């Protein structure tokens, strides 16, 4: 099963006030993809910054799903033709859930964390 966790900070870039997006994607419990990157535009709210992070992770998840399908794995719960998060949510192909900071592996993509949390 593919699982994606995302996180974003709001205006974490000191110079240009851009937010940082981070995601962590696992397959059958193992990390297969991750990213931490400044967003291309300045988000005007925390919600917007988080939404941008979700979109980036969703694009990666859809690519990985297609790749795994080409290897012969079947994913009937997500249809490849939906590339925008809004459409996918309306189709109930996946859901978004808030994950507490202690269980969100992507938290380390947007801020330093103590060694104890690793």
Question: Rounded to two decimals, what is the model's pTM?
Answer: 0.64
Over residues 17-37, the mean pLDDT reads 94
In sequence order, the β-bridge partners of residue 2 are 27
- C-alpha 98/C-alpha 89 separation (Å) is 15
Give the mean pLDDT of 28-39.
Answer: 94
pLDDT higher than threshold 60 for residue 12: yes
Inform me whether the pLDDT recorded for 82 exceeds 50: no
Short-list 35, 5, 36, CA closest to 18: 36
């Amino acid at each position: 099963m593919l699982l994606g966790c995302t996180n974003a900070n709001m205006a974490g870039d000191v110079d240009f006030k851009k937010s940082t997006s981070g995601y962590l994607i696992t397959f059958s419990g193992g990390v297969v993809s991750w990213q931490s990157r400044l967003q291309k535009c300045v988000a005007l709210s925390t919600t917007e910054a988080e939404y941008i992070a979700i979109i980036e992770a969703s694009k990666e998840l859809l690519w990985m799903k297609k790749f795994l399908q080409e290897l012969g794995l079947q994913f009937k719960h997500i249809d490849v033709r939906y590339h925008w998060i809004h459409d996918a949510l309306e189709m109930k192909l996946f859901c978004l859930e808030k994950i507490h900071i202690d269980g969100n592996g992507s938290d380390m993509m947007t801020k330093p964390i103590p060694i104890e949390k690793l």
